[in-house]
Amino acid sequence: MAAGPALPAAGAQGGSARRERKAAPPARSERRARRERRGRAPPRGRATCHPARLRQPGGAGALVFSPCGREGGAARERENAPRGLEGNRSFACCYRSFPVPELRLLKPGSASPPPPPRSPGFVSQGRRAAWKRNSPEAEAGTPLLAGPRSPSRRCGKGAAAMDPAGGRGARARRGTRPAVPRSRGAEKGAEKGAARSPERGRVAGQSSNGAATPRAPRTDAPPARGSRSARRAPAARELPAGGAASGAEAFLAPRSRAPAARASATPRSVAAVPDGADAAPARRPPADALRLREVLSRLSLAREEVSGASTLVNRVVSHLIQAIRGKDSCFSSIEPQNAGSYYERVKISKPNEFDIMLVMPVERIQLDESDDTGAFYYVSFKRIPKGKGWLKFLEEDGKLSAFEMREALREIIKQEVKTIKDVEVTVARKKPGCPAITLQIKNPPSEISLDIILTLEAKGSWPISTRNGLKIEQWLGTKVRKNMRFKSPYLVAKQNKSEKVLRGNTWRLSFSHIEKEIIKNHGNSKTCCESDGPKCCRKGCLKLLKYLLEQLKMKYPKELEKFCSYHVKTAFLHSCVMWPNDSDWHLGDLDHCFQRCLEFFVDCLQKSQLTHFFIPQYNLLSLEDKSKHHFLSRKICHELNNGFPVFHENY
DNA sequence: AGCCGCTACGGGAG
DNA sequence: CTCCCGTAGCGGCT
């Protein structure tokens, strides 16, 4: 992107009325312009909405899906043999082994041209400031419990009266004064907040006292208003004939779509012809979609719980970071990086598990594969960093000992948790082979589990084993993929169990930071799930997948102990690749999309083949556990064919 | 140059 | 809609 004073901000280029409105305060637009001149990406990199990005699904995604086998061993329908993958190497390469969905691709001539590159978009750097802000002092005024819930959902006035004290001046943030030039020290507390731009959270014409302008209930499809919708129209017009339905949808088996389409607020054409006998087992009553949504709503995190848990976790983490940095010169450069489902916003049920990576940048290291998975490595230094205290973690052969490093960190943490006041924290017992140091934080009446993961940021390019992974070109774009691969790969201190002698010197590649980025920016079009953009059900599907596995694990703890949420997350990411378009994930099609993900996962289980999303040669389902994979696949099929009874069971 | 206070904004809950 | 948390950039300060 050429820099220059005349360069329009990405948001303006995208033509979003909302963004232009947001850019109104002079201070901010000036900042943005300055940022652009300095060649930086716009905040969060999501401001660009290139009409051509909203292309028709010519790349892939059109499919017909047969239901999986029934409980009891009915043969799976296989009449939709894989074909049509030619013309799309990435899919052919990675997904040819999935026989059930049939990817019918448009001919090269009819396919849309490759999408224009997206703006870099991923400008992430752990910022210490954020962590400092979460210090106990900053949190002191934050009440753990929000005020009583307003009886009405539109709680403008009531909400304005809620908890006037609290962290970061947020309560007063949406004042009505225009943005004023910043001056440090002069504006504290409410003043500070009042100085903020009032534009956010308000629509034109809304009264300043917080009373909401009456409006129609929200639907899945935002009404055509503002310039965003208008600009989306050309892209829609590019779609193949078939009205509002995308090219992909035109191919979709109508079987289980009919109810979903009814649930969708967007009028869409649905093929009228049911597809024969295999339709029966997976046909869902129309109420299914509603029930899944009801399940989803049960899984959302309560605000008070989030508030309480995040306060505790942030307090503990910021304390530990300060202490660890000061204790050992080797760890002085650690940066916390939030990871895992809570920070990906796909945590379900309770905010009781947090993952924090403590990232240590390391330069000039050499990675040697420790086995043929392509995931485990020995780490050694090409040149040992001076004065950093690394020597004590090196073995005789020069390999960096993951075990020793983690133990050193663990010792520091064990000492430090004792000094944390007001919060009761204990270090959990070691779990063999687990890269995390798990802290238990008392949060009566329950506990929060905080996983601290020692992570090396291996400055340099990704190992060769990842070369054909991350096949997101059709879904997120080639530029996004390139930018992601520009980021350093991470390594976590994880024992490779396949080693004959466990010496604790192997490190496993970790892509938590990339996964988080993908899940937070999951749309094929950049506006997916933004407040004015179309909502998709990708996250909903992932949450349901996690919930299903969680529930089944509760029901069959012994049989399913080997499965973890990373399996379903991986299957989900593959699903996103197979159905790359936002039109494949309409919010109203939740049940259909969820089934599709599950059927893909079941297929992986039946074949004992679930490819690591970033390391294609790495199979997450080891062949030794075939019977367990089949067990889970049978249980999932049972759920699929019976309306997910396990969602309504309590364990 | 790096730290840190501040502001802005997205996303999710209610 | 508002509220709140997480995230990220700006810019003053050291």
**The two structure tokens encoding residue A266:** 């967007």
Distance in Å, residue A322 CA to nucleotide B3 C1' = 14
Q: Which H helix or E strand runs over A367?
A: strand A365-369
Q: Which position has the higher pLDDT, A248 or A616?
A: A616
A215 CB contact with strand B at below 7 Å: no
Name the residue closest to C13, CA to C1': A184
Name the residue closest to B14, CA to C1': A153
Distance in Å, residue A215 CA to nucleotide C2 C1' = 15
Measure the CA–CA gap between A435 and A438, rounded to whole angstroms. 9
Check residues 162 to 191 of chain A and report those whose beta carbon is under 7 Å from nucleic acid strand B: 168-169, 179, 182, 184-185, 187-188
Q: Which nucleotide comes closest to A519 if you measure CA to C1'?
A: B11
Distance in Å, residue A363 CA to nucleotide B1 C1' = 20
Q: What percent of chain A has pLDDT over 70?
A: 55
How confident is the model over A291-306, as pLDDT tens digits? 899 999 999 999 999 9
pLDDT at A256 over 70: no
Distance in Å, residue A468 CA to nucleotide B14 C1' = 43
A345 CB contact with strand B at below 7 Å: yes
Name the residue closest to C5, CA to C1': A307
Residue type (1 letter), A455: T
Closest CA to A220 of A585, A588, A592: A588
**Where residue A505 falls among pLDDT bands split at 50, 70, 90?**
very high
Nucleotides of C under 7 A from a protein CB: 1-13
A222, A266 Cβ separation under 8 angstroms: no
Q: How does the average pLDDT of chain A come out, rounded?
A: 67
Q: Which position has the higher pLDDT, A575 or A279?
A: A575
Q: Which nucleotide comes closest to A310 if you measure CA to C1'?
A: C5
pLDDT of residue A289: 67
**Range with the poorest average pLDDT among A50-54, A98-102, A401-405, A534-538:** A50-54
How confident is the model over A460-483, as pLDDT tens digits? 999 999 999 999 999 999 999 999
DSSP string, A461-507: PPPGGGTT----TTTT-HHHHHHHHHSPPEEE----TTSSS--S-EE
Q: What percent of chain A has pLDDT over 90?
A: 46
Question: Structure pTM?
Answer: 0.66
φ, ψ of residue A403 to 5 degrees: the values are -60, -50
Distance in Å, residue A415 CA to nucleotide C10 C1' = 37
Q: Considering only the C-alpha atoms of chain A, give the largest distance between any 2 of them, rounded to a whole number of Å.
A: 73
A120 CB contact with strand B at below 7 Å: no
Nucleotides of B under 7 A from a protein CB: 3-14
Distance in Å, residue A623 CA to nucleotide C4 C1' = 46
pLDDT of residue A314: 93
Name the residue closest to C10, CA to C1': A31
A584, A248 Cβ separation under 8 angstroms: yes
A139, A315 Cβ separation under 8 angstroms: yes
Name the residue closest to B13, CA to C1': A303
Distance in Å, residue A180 CA to nucleotide C10 C1' = 15
Counting beta carbons within 10 angstroms of the beta carbon of residue A304, is it exposed (0 to 12), middle (13 to 18) or buried (19 or more)? middle
A383 CB contact with strand B at below 7 Å: no
- Which segments within A4-52 are labelled E, that is strand? none
pLDDT of residue A495: 87
Measure the CA–CA gap between A287 and A88, rounded to whole angstroms. 37
How confident is the model over A572-618, as pLDDT tens digits? 999 999 999 999 999 999 999 999 999 999 999 999 999 999 999 99
pLDDT of residue A533: 83
**The two structure tokens encoding residue A384:** 């040992």
Structure-token match 């000036």, residue found: A30
Residues in chain A, total:
651
A350 CB contact with strand B at below 7 Å: no
Rg, chain A, Cα only = 26
Q: Which nucleotide comes closest to A347 if you measure CA to C1'?
A: B12
The residues that bridge with A454 in the sheet, in sequence order, are A358
Distance in Å, residue A384 CA to nucleotide B14 C1' = 53
| A647-to-A29, A322, A547, A548 alpha-carbon distances in Å | 48, 42, 8, 7
Q: Which nucleotide comes closest to A303 if you measure CA to C1'?
A: B13
**Where residue A95 falls among pLDDT bands split at 50, 70, 90?**
low
Q: Which nucleotide comes closest to A192 if you measure CA to C1'?
A: B6
Distance in Å, residue A144 CA to nucleotide B14 C1' = 16
Distance in Å, residue A456 CA to nucleotide C13 C1' = 32
Distance in Å, residue A511 CA to nucleotide B5 C1' = 32
Q: Which nucleotide comes closest to A351 if you measure CA to C1'?
A: C5
How confident is the model over A136-185, as pLDDT tens digits? 333 333 332 223 333 232 322 332 222 322 233 333 333 333 333 333 33
Q: Across residues A555-576, what is the average pLDDT?
A: 97
Name the residue closest to C1, CA to C1': A154
pLDDT of residue A170: 31
Measure the CA–CA gap between A82 and A304, rounded to whole angstroms. 49
A537 CB contact with strand B at below 7 Å: no
pLDDT at A228 over 60: no
Q: Which nucleotide comes closest to A299 if you measure CA to C1'?
A: B13
Name the residue closest to B4, CA to C1': A129
Distance in Å, residue A294 CA to nucleotide C1 C1' = 22
Residues A324, A328, A333, A339, CA torsion sign: negative
Q: Can you list the pairs that A495-503 forms with residues at least 24 positions away whose Cβ atoms lie under 8 Å?
A: A495/A402, A495/A403, A495/A432, A495/A433, A496/A370, A496/A371, A496/A373, A496/A376, A497/A433, A498/A371, A498/A373, A498/A376, A499/A370, A499/A371, A503/A395, A503/A401, A503/A403
Q: Which position has the higher pLDDT, A364 or A238?
A: A364
**Where residue A286 falls among pLDDT bands split at 50, 70, 90?**
low
Distance in Å, residue A463 CA to nucleotide C12 C1' = 41
φ, ψ of residue A343 to 5 degrees: the values are -80, -15
Q: Where are the alpha helices (DSSP H) in A268-378?
A: 279-282, 287-299, 303-327, 340-344
Q: Which nucleotide comes closest to A311 if you measure CA to C1'?
A: C5
